[in-house]
Structure 1
C-alpha cells in the first residue's frame, strides 16, 4: 500500500513537473505586477526610515532589512522579466516545431563551411527546445535562491552589528576586561562567515575535503542556523548536481557584481559641468513648491523662490541625532521629555512635565537668521510639523516688506558641535543659503 502511494505521488510530481511552466508564468506575471506597484511604497518607506534615523543612531540598524528588501525587489523584477522572455521564446519554439519540424539544412543549401558549422552548433531543434526549457526552470529557481541568499547575508551582518553594539556597550559601561572576550568573538564570527561563504561559492570544497570536513562541520552547522540557509538548502543542492544549475550558481558572483555595477552607474554627458557646484547652483529642494517628494530633506526650506507678499515662511527641521547634543550643552537645565527608543503610555505624565516655552526658547537659540548680511531680530518661533516632509522642527515668518523688488538671500547659521584641539565645542557655523526673489 505504501509503495503504491509512493508511485502515485511520484507520478503526480512528474505530471506537475511537465506542467510547471504554466505555474511559473502565472507566478512571474503576477509578481511583476505586484513589484511594479510596490516601487512607490518602497521609496516612501526609505524616506520614512531616513527620517527616523535622523532622530537617533540606534535606528540605523533598520536600514539593513530595507536594503535587503530593495535588493530583493531589483532581483525579482529583473530575473522574472528575463524568465517571462525566455518562457515566451520557449513557447514560440514549440509552436514553430509544430509547423516545420526539424531544421532542413539540405534545403537551405549553405556553403560547406557554414553548413558544417551550423550542423555542429545546432545539432537538433528538439535539443534546443529541451535546453531552453531547462534554462527557464533554472532561472526561475535561481531567482528565489538569490533572494534567500540576500536574506542570509542580512542575518549574518545583523550578527556583526549585535556583537559590535555589545562591544560599544562594554566600552561605555563595563570594564575593559570584557573587550578581550568580545573582540575575538567578533573576529572569529567574521572569519567563520567568510569560510562558510567560500564553501558555498565553491560548491562544497570543504565538504569534499576529507581532512578538513571534520573541522568545517561545526562551522557549517552554526552558520547554517544563523543564516537560515537550511530553508533553501534543498534548492541549492538540487541546482549544483545539475550541469546547467552548477554553471548558474557559479555565475552568482559575476551576476551580483554586474547587478551592483548596473544599479550604481549613471551617465554624465556634460563634460564642462563641474562636480562641485553647490554654491553656484539653485536647488529645487530649497522650496516646498518645487521639492521632489521622494528625496529626503535634512535642511531648512521656504515656501517658494518667488515672494509675492511681504512674508516668508522659513522651516528649520529638528533632528535629535545631531541637535540633542547641542541642546544639552546650551541648555543643561532642560531635561529631555523622552528617554530611550520607545514611548509607552506610562511615560505620558513624564513628558507633560517638560515646559514647552522653555524648550522652544532653547531650540530658538540654535539659529541665527540673516537676510543678505543683516541679522533678522525679534523673530518668533513655533514648533511645527511639516505636512509633506513629515519633519518636526521650528517655523518662523520673516517680514520682508521693507525690501525692494529683486533678488535676496536668506542665510542660516546654526550652532553645531565640533571637535577642536581635542575637545568638543559648540560653535555657530553657516548652515545654508537660500536665494529668493521678491516680486
Structure 2
C-alpha cells in the first residue's frame, strides 16, 4: 500500500515537473506586477525609516532590514523579468519546432568553415530546447535562493550588531569583568561566520575534509539555525549535486559583485561644478513648494523662494541624535518628557511633566537668524509638526515687510556640541543659507 502510494506521489511530481513552467510564468508575472506596484510604497517606507533614525541611535538598526528588503526587491525584479524573457524564448522555440523539426544545414548551404562551426555548437534543436528549459527552471530557483541568502546574511549581521551593542552597554554600565566573556564570544562568532560562509561559497569544501569536518559540525549546526539556512538547504544541495547547478551557484559571487557595483554606480557629467556649493546654491530642498518629498532633508526650509505677503514661514527641524546633547548641556535642569524608544499602545500623557514653555525657551536658544547679515531680535518660536516632511521641530513667522524688493538671504546659525581639550563646549555654526526674493 505504501509502495503504491509512493509511486503515485512520484508520478504526480513528474507530471507537475513537466507542467511547472506554467506555474513559473504565473508566479513571475504576478510577482513582477506586485513589485512594480510596491515601488512607490518602498520609497515612502525608506523615508519613514531614515526619519526615525534622526530621533535615536537605536533606530539605525532598522536600516539593515530595509536594505535587505530593497536588495530583495531588485533581485526579484531583475531575475523574474529575465526568467519571463527566457521562458518566452523557450516557448518560441517550441513553436518553431512545430513548423520546422530540425535545422537542415544542407539547405542553408554555408561555407565549410561556418558549416563545421555551427554543427559543432548546435548539436540539435531538441538539445537546445532542453538546455533552455533547464536554464529557465534554474534561474527561477536561483532567484529565491538569492533572496534567502540575503536574509541569512542580514540575520548574521544583526547578530554582530547585537553583540557589539551588548559589549558597549556592558562597558558603559556594567562591570568590565563581563567583557572577558563577551569579547571572546564575539570573536568566535565572527570567525565561525566567516568559516561558514567560505564553506557555503566553496560548495561544501570544509565538509569534505574528514579531519576538520568533526570540529566544523557544531559550527555548521549553530549557524544553520542562526541564519535559517535549513529552510533552503534542500534547494542549495539539489543545485550543487550536478555540474550545471554548481556553475549557477558559483556564479552567485560575481552576480552579487556586479549587482553591488551597478546599484552603487553614478555618472558625473558636469566636471566644473563643485560638490560643495553652499552658500552659492539655489537648492530645491530649502523650499516646501519645490521639495520633491522623496529624500530626507536635515536643513531648515521656508514656504517658497518668493515672498508675496511680507512674511516668511520658517521651519527648523529637530534631530534628536545631535540636538539632545546640546539641550542636556544647555538646560541641565530640563527633565526629558519621553523616556525609552518603543511604546505599546497609547503613551500615558499624565507622566509628561515637562514644562512646555521652559522647553520651548531652551530649544529657542539653539538658533540665531540673520537676514542680509543682520541678526533678527526677539524671534517668537513655537513647536511645529511639519505636515509635508513629517518631522518635528520649531516654527516661526518672520516679518520681512520692511525689506526692499529683490533678492535677500536668510542665514541660520545652530548651536552644536563639541568636546574641546576634554571640555564640553557649545559652539554656533552656520548651517543654512536660504536665498529668497521679496516681491
Scaled to the shorter chain, the TM-score interval is: over 0.9
Distance 2:80 2:15 in 1: 24
Task: Report the alpha carbon displacement of residue 346 of structure 1 after superposing the two structures with TM.
Answer: 6.5
TM-superposition CA deviations, 1:159-198 (whole Å, max 9, x none): 1011011101111111222112211111110111010000
CA distance in 1, matches of 2:122, 2:259: 31
Cα distance in structure 2, aligned partners of 1:139 and 1:322? 47
What CA distance in whole angstroms lies between the structure 2 residues aligned with 1:139 and 1:423? 60
Deviating runs (4+, > 6 A) in structure 1? Answer: none
**Within 5 Å, which residues of 2 pair with 1:137-176?**
137-176=137-176
Q: 1:331 to 1:116 in 2, by over 3 A?
A: same
State the Cα deviation string for residues 250-270 of structure 1 (Å, max 9, x = none): 000100000001111122222
For the pair 1:417 / 2:417, whether they are aligned, the reply is: yes
8 Å Cα contact 2:313/2:395 also seen in 1: yes
CA distance, structure 1, for counterparts of residue 380 and residue 390 of structure 2: 21
CA apart distance, 1:66: 0.6
Q: Secondary structure at the match of 2:85?
A: helix
Q: Deviations over 1:19-65 (max 9, x none)?
A: 00000000000000000011111111110111111100011111111
Q: How does 1:26-425 map to 2 (within 5 A)?
A: 26-343=26-343, 345=346, 347-351=348-352, 353-425=353-425
Rounded Cα–Cα distance in structure 2 between residues aligned with 1:430 and 1:274: 20
Could you say what secondary structure the match of 1:231 adopts? coil
SS in 2 for 1:338: coil
Q: In the alignment, is the contact (CA less than 8 A) between 2:284 and 2:291 conserved in 1?
A: yes
Contact preservation (8 Å) 2:278, 2:433: no
TM-score (norm 1): 0.98
- Distance in 2 (alpha carbons) for counterparts of 1:409 and 1:280: 11
SS of corresponding position for 1:206: coil
User: Aligned equivalents of 2:435 and 2:247: distance in 1?
Assistant: 58
Deviations 1:310-358 (CA, angstroms, capped at 9, x unpaired):
000000011211111111111111111111112455642111x211111
Q: Which residue of 1 aligns with 2:25?
A: 25
Distance 2:347 2:48 in 1: 26
Distance 1:52 1:335 in 2: 22
Separation in 1 of the partners of 2:374 and 2:274? 31
TM norm structure 2: 0.98
* Paired residue total: 438
Q: Distance in 2 between matches of 1:365 and 1:278?
A: 24
Q: Which moved more, 1:177-186 or 1:7-16?
A: 177-186
What CA distance in whole angstroms lies between the structure 2 residues aligned with 1:135 and 1:359? 65
- Distance in 2, Cα, partners of 1:55 & 1:270: 36
Provide the alpha-carbon RMSD of the alignment.
1.0
* Structure 1 segments unaligned to the other structure (5+ residues): none
